[in-house]
Amino acid sequence: MPRPVVRVPSSVWRAAGTAEGVRAIPEETAIAFTFNTASYAVMMATPQDLEDFAVGFALTEGVISSIDVIEGIDVVEEDAGIELRIWLKAPDAVEFLGRRRKLAGPTGCGLCGVESLVEAMRPPPDVGKGRVLTGDQIMTAVDSLFPKQDLNRETRAVHAAGFWDPERNLVAVREDVGRHNALDKLAGALARDGATAAQGLIVLTSRVSIEMVQKSAAIGAPIIAAVSAPTALAVRMAEACGMTLIAIARKDGFEVFTHPHRVKGRLATSVA
């Protein structure tokens, strides 16, 4: 399998002069998804945590409703990339083959290949009640993600998605060159561990766009917190599905855009 990080030579230009150097950069590989031999999608992604990617993508795209319908996953390296062969159990395979569509998804796009405006704007499912968290707990969750970003610490070029809950703290972290891929990998990791996103919050290192809300809602996440700003459409989608959307989470605090009833108290250090 390709390594997730590659070291390449570079010419370094600085104010003090030039020098020859070596830079660690993330690999980007074509990942093809097939379900019972039927092609479904090709995404550009970091070649690691691929079984998580297979399960999470299938869940957040609505191909499956539960990991239980997956019979097996084969990771097959080919000349042009990697094929994830997902085998569905008989009844679900028949249903899938009757409604499949094809997607081509470059790294930066989470909605490429959809066939209609209605499909692109599909309303996410309502999220559950979730739990109420304090401002300090939310800051703890956000702060806990950065030390676990091994790929980003080495390359400074990948996104991360993590899941935190008050009992177990940071449960899982996944990284990828694509923010949607990182979230899909996280969704798969939780599902394969028998966990859900219902009693904690998802932490994102990226901006929050519509598909990040849709994918988070698909796995029942009642709260998401991101370091960057949301889009207006993401705010409307989060409002519609009952999700608490927290963004612009920095060292001194954060902003709550929808359903603030899940956030209580004050930060230990007041925000001006």
Instruction: Give residue-wise pLDDT tens across range 224-259.
Output: 999 999 999 999 999 999 999 999 999 999 999 999
C-alpha closest to that of 128 among 37, 66, 201 = 201
Q: At what angle do helices 50-60 and 179-192 cross, to 10 degrees?
A: 100
In a domain, 17, yes or no: no
In a domain, 272, yes or no: no
pLDDT at 272: 45
Same domain (yes/no): 245, 144: yes
Same domain (yes/no): 91, 159: no
**β-strands 81-88, 70-78: how paired?**
antiparallel
Task: Please report, for residues 54, 56, 80, 176, the alpha-carbon distance to residue 70 in angstroms, rounded to integers and kept in the order given.
Answer: 10, 12, 25, 23
Domain C-terminal end among 72, 92, 120:
120
- 133, β-bridge pairs: 263
Side chain identity at residue 41, one-letter code: A
In a domain, 215, yes or no: yes
CB 96 within 8 A of CB 36: yes
Specify whether 109 is catalytic.
yes
pLDDT at 6: 98
In a domain, 23, yes or no: no
Residue 260 has a CB neighbour count (10 Å cut-off) of 11
Residue 198 has a CB neighbour count (10 Å cut-off) of 15
Same domain (yes/no): 163, 247: yes
Residue numbers of the domain that contains 46: 29-120
- Digit-by-digit pLDDT tens for the chain (272 residues) are 899 999 999 999 999 999 999 999 999 999 999 999 999 999 999 999 999 999 999 999 999 999 999 999 999 999 999 999 999 999 889 888 877 666 666 665 665 555 566 666 778 899 999 999 999 999 999 999 999 999 999 999 999 999 999 999 999 999 999 999 999 999 999 999 999 999 999 999 999 999 999 999 999 999 999 999 999 999 999 999 999 999 999 999 999 999 999 999 888 764 44
pLDDT at 81: 97
C-alpha closest to that of 179 among 115, 229, 110, 231 = 110
Looking up residue 54, the CATH number of its domain turns out to be: 3.10.20.10
In a domain, 7, yes or no: no
In a domain, 184, yes or no: yes
Mean pLDDT of all residues belonging to the chain:
92
Domain C-terminal end among 93, 120, 147:
120
pLDDT at 267: 83
Same domain (yes/no): 105, 185: no
Report how far residue 220's alpha carbon sits from residue 92's, in angstroms, rounded to the nearest whole number: 21
Same domain (yes/no): 58, 149: no
Got the DSSP string for the chain?
A: ---SEEEEEEEEEETTEEEEEEEEEE--EEEEEEETTEEEEEEEE-SSSHHHHHHHHHHHTTS-S-GGGEEEEEEEEETTEEEEEEEE-HHHHHHHHHH---EEE-TT-SSTT---HHHHTPPPPPP-----EEHHHHHHHHHHHGGG-HHHHHHS--EEEEEEETTTEEEEEEEESSHHHHHHHHHHHHHHTT--STTSEEEESS-B-HHHHHHHHHTT-SEEEESSPBPHHHHHHHHHHT-EEEEEEETTEEEE-S-GGGEES--SS---
Choice among 25, 30, 75, 109 that is catalytic: 109
Same domain (yes/no): 103, 190: no
Domain C-terminal end among 72, 96, 120:
120
What's this model's pTM, rounded to 2 decimal places?
Answer: 0.93
pLDDT at 110: 60
Same domain (yes/no): 110, 165: no
The number of domains in the chain is: 2
Same domain (yes/no): 137, 257: yes
In a domain, 69, yes or no: yes
Looking up residue 203, the CATH number of its domain turns out to be: 3.40.140.10
